Structure 1
Amino acid sequence: MPTEILMPALSPTMEEGTLAKWLVKEGDTVSSGDLIAEIETDKATMEFEAVDEGVVGKILVAEGSEGVKVNTPIAVLLEDGESADDIQSSAANGTPAPAAEPAKDAAAAKSEAPKDDAPKAEAKAAPAAPQGADGSRIFASPLARRIAADKGLDLAQITGSGPKGRIVKADVIDAKPQAAAAPKAEAAGASPAAAAAAPAGPSADQVARMYEGRDYEEVKLDGMRKTIAARLTEAKQQVPHFYLRRDIQLDALLKFRGELNKQLEARGVKLSVNDFIIKACALALQSVPDANAVWAGDRVLKMKASDVAVAVAIEGGLFTPVLQDSDSKSLSALSAEMKDLAARARDRKLAPHEYQGGSFAISNLGMFGIENFDAVINPPHGAILAVGAGVKKPVVGKDGELAVATVMSVTLSVDHRVIDGALGAELLNAIKDNLENPMVMLA
């Protein structure tokens, strides 16, 4: 029977994307693993591989289409012996209905079929092919999908008895409904009432009416900006932030960095202050392991390695590429990896695994002259360090004498569900100690 090709979820957070380009056309034969399309996510353009083999019978979504929801049918594959005539259009949603059921399902199918004097467009379409928790497709007949939808069944919990484990009518007809999935707000610890009570801002039309008669340019939001808006709004509404601030003296680090760069010049290596900050945070997470953690809805995950994300500004948004195992890498290795990730981030060439994950993030605006600021946590991270510029300031030395030092102000934004105040203070103190005693980081 014809097989629907669904819009893939190319990252755990992807809900929709742009079908940028088809790499095949109707009538082409494809095999599993063949590249068939280019999909633009909120972060990057990625190639999409075929999972099944067959002939492209019909392309349902034209290239260049924006806002295509994940799991929406985008094309139909035909198996050997099938033709385009086997694809039945569904007027309900404009997508094809798979081929008719085998004879053993005919009686049940008949009761759901439209009457002879009713338009065929009124036929009830089968729900889209579902996916398992790992993103793999769950194979089920159209009738089984309809029965499951009517009974509120989760097909991921049902074992199919058909060919190659395919779920058929007999598997779902006597199955009992599963408990309904908790709403997203409840999974995050919020009550339904609290979620419903969340205030909504003015609509786009209402805002536009406020500025009638004024000249302005309307900028259309791309996928990245929409995602940033949604995630940061969610973060500020659902993550209980608290903030810890310290001043860090950089003179010893700047002197040490200068000496190292002279010795590394022959190798073409030039360390930045940011490289030292990454290393200092990574080692601090190892010194305070309880703070190396992320929020996972109903539990906290304590990470073993220090995977540190670093915010990289690009045109129209930002990436947070993750440097895995930062605690065990040398400063020169971190520097080279950070330069590579930043360059590919600006070209939007990062793969999802390169900007997802991590337990801790760094946002450095010091190069723009910003002395201090508060950063928003990027869930599920437990904390983010906002780094300001190093500025010459008067300081009081240990002997009570006034001196001038290069001082960098930092603010640690902390998720109170993951890290309590004293633990956050211990982490920030460890970061400060590492930066003010940079040779310790090489021990």
Structure 2
Amino acid sequence: MAIEIYMPALSPTMESGTLAKWLVKEGDTVESGTILAEIETDKATMEYENIDDGVVGKLYVAEGTENIAVGQLIAVLLEDGEDASAISDAPAKKAAPVAIKAEAVVEVTPVAPTAPVVNTGGKRIFSSPLARRLAAQKGVDIADIPGSGPHGRVIKRDVEGYVPVAKAALVPSLDGDAPFEEIKLSNMRKTIAKRLTESKQTVPHFYLGVDIELDNLLTARKELNSLSDEYKISVNDFIIRACALALKKVPEANVQFGGDVMRHYSRSDVSVAVAIPGGLVTPVIRGAEQKGLRQISDETKALAKKARDGKLMPEDYMGGTFSISNLGMMGIKQFQAVINPPQAAILAVGSGEQRVIMKDGAVTSATVMSVNLACDHRAIDGAVGAKFLGAIKTYLEHPSTMLL
């Protein structure tokens, strides 16, 4: 029996993708582990790994095809002894749920022999009982949530990471008589536009700002970097560690709002915004409070390189509990960042500069950096945000306290 291959869901937010490149052609013999194609998701270009042995009988989708819905039939494999003449020239109009094995899959959920199915107007929605219960608690239609589990099944992680689409999002009308060129949006840019619009429309932001003196930190950094050529600690590495430790010191800030529940995290998984051509990604330093500056530095550099090379896996960027966006290296004095749901806060970091300050009644100068904390007011109150920001300030102004 011919084996049908469908567009996989390579991340919980993926609803469609672009088939960037076929790595096989019709008539090729493939086996389990063969890379069939490169697929552009909303985060990166990823390899799609085959799980069956057979011969490529038909490729239904051409290279470069965009907006291929998750679950759409893209190819057929023939098993031993089968004839290509039995394959339909056109893909089925209603695709079966996705069955995938991709390097992108982070969470493996056992599938019961007959997975629970929700019937919504003739559309079959595979989902776990826990996912349906969480969706009901959040007041979300399970049919609206893209599934990333086996066979396209909606699982717990999908519900927790789902942000409802704003029903009345406005698209601005385009006007102007200046010469222009229209450039089609990439999947990444579409996702950024969608998620940040949802964030500003559905998440009640409030902002707190503080100035931080960096002279002690810069002295400590210079001393550390002079001890070895094997590493180079950056100011951002100190900021990541300070934020991770502050989340442990003020655990009320390490939370996410979930409708009628609040999730409190016991580990500081810090997402770090990285600019790449065409957009922005946020790889995660997991358990950053347990890591030293050198390990944080090494991991940040490795993840940033993977991001710029388009090689990030979902486990590299999914599941952060707090975000940092640093534009200081670009000369930006201060700015306000947009929260990345379902996270409840993000720190916007400006540049350090020499400023005149008053200290102990005397006028002097210091290297000062301005930061702004954006908080989700549903999850974090002003007093908690202020306490958290104060802890970050203390760690950065007195870096030796990060050793305690």
TM-score (norm: length of structure 1): 0.76
- Partners of 1:128 and 1:332 lie apart in 2 by 48
Instruction: Choose between structure 1 and 2 for higher RCO, CA contacts under 8 A separated by at least 6 residues.
Output: 2
1:409 match: secondary structure: strand
* AA of the residue aligned to 2:266: K
Change (3 A) 1:95 1:157: same
**Which residue type is aligned with residue 201 of structure 1?**
V
Are residues 244 and 58 of structure 1, via their aligned partners in 2, closer, same or farther at CA, if it must alter by over 3 Å?
same
2:321 aligned partner, one-letter code: S
CA contact (8 A) 1:387 1:409 kept: yes
Q: State the percentage of identical aligned residues.
A: 55
Q: Which has the larger radius of gyration?
A: 1
Cα distance per residue 1:65-114 (max 9 Å; x no partner): 1221111100112334432333345xxxx414xxxxxxxxxxxxxxxxxx
Structure 2 counterpart SS, 1:68: strand
Using a 3 Å threshold, how does the CA distance of structure 1 residues 254 and 183 change in structure 2: closer, same or farther? same
Match of 2:184 in 1: 220
Alpha carbons of structure 1 residues 297 and 29: separation in structure 2 relative to 1, 3 Å: farther
Question: Which residue pairs with 1:200 in the alignment?
Answer: 170
> Where does residue 2 of structure 2 map in the other structure?
2
| Alpha-carbon distance change, 148 to 216 in structure 1, aligned in 2, over 3 angstroms | closer
8 A contact 1:130–1:138 mirrored in 2: no
Using a 3 Å threshold, how does the CA distance of structure 1 residues 139 and 76 change in structure 2: closer, same or farther? farther
User: Which piece of structure 1 moves more, 13-22 or 298-307?
Assistant: 298-307
- Tell me, yes or no, if the aligned pair for 2:7 and 2:98 is still in contact at 8 Å: no
**CA deviation profile, 1:12-35 (whole Å, cap 9, x unmatched):** 111221112222222333333322
Listed as ranges, the matches of 1:33-44 within 5 Å are 33-44=33-44
RMSD of aligned Cα (Å): 3.0
Aligned match of 1:24: 24
Deviation at 1:288, TM superposition (A): 1.0
Question: Is 1:280 paired with 2:242?
Answer: yes
From 311, 327, 332, give the equivalent of 1:365: 327
CA contact (8 A) 1:148 1:155 kept: no
Instruction: Give 5+ residue unaligned stretches, structure 1.
Output: 97-124, 159-178
Whether contact under 8 Å (1:393, 1:404) holds in the other structure is: yes
**Structure 2: how far apart are the matches of 1:9 and 1:137?**
16
| Aligned-residue offset at 1:379 | 1.2
Q: Distance in 2 between matches of 1:88 and 1:139?
A: 29
State the distance in 2 between where 1:15 and 1:182 align: 12
**When you count helix as a share of all residues, which structure comes out higher?**
1
Name the CA distance, whole Å, in 1 between partners of 2:19 and 2:128.
Answer: 31
User: Is residue 7–residue 70 contact of structure 2 (8 Å, CA) maintained in 1?
Assistant: yes
Q: Give the drift of 1:130.
A: 1.9
Please state whether the residue corresponding to 1:407 is helix, strand or coil. Answer: strand
* TM-score using structure 2 length: 0.83
CA contact (8 A) 2:125 2:143 kept: no
Provide Cα deviations, 1:258-279, integer angstroms capped at 9, x if missing partner: 222222xx34322111111111
Alignment correspondent of 1:441: 402
- Is contact 1:247-1:410 (8 Å) kept? yes
CA 1:156–1:221: 2 relative to 1, 3 Å: closer
Q: Per the alignment, do residues 180 and 388 of structure 1 end up closer, same or farther by CA in structure 2, a change over 3 Å counting?
A: closer
What does residue 66 of structure 2 align with?
Answer: 66
Note the 1:261-410 alignment, pairs <5 A. Answer: 261-263=225-227, 266-397=228-359, 399-410=360-371
After TM superposition, the structure 1 stretch with the greater mean CA deviation from structure 2, 252-261 or 237-246, is: 252-261
User: What amino acid maps onto 1:77 in structure 2?
Assistant: L
5+ residue gaps in structure 2? 100-106, 130-139, 146-158
**Matched residue, 1:253:** 217
Distance 1:259 1:67, change over 3 A: same
Counterpart for residue 428 of structure 1 = 389
List, as ranges, runs of 4+ consecutive aligned residues in structure 1 with deviation greater than 6 Å. 132-140, 147-150
Please report how far the alpha carbon of residue 137 of structure 1 lies from its aligned counterpart in structure 2 after TM superposition.
9.0
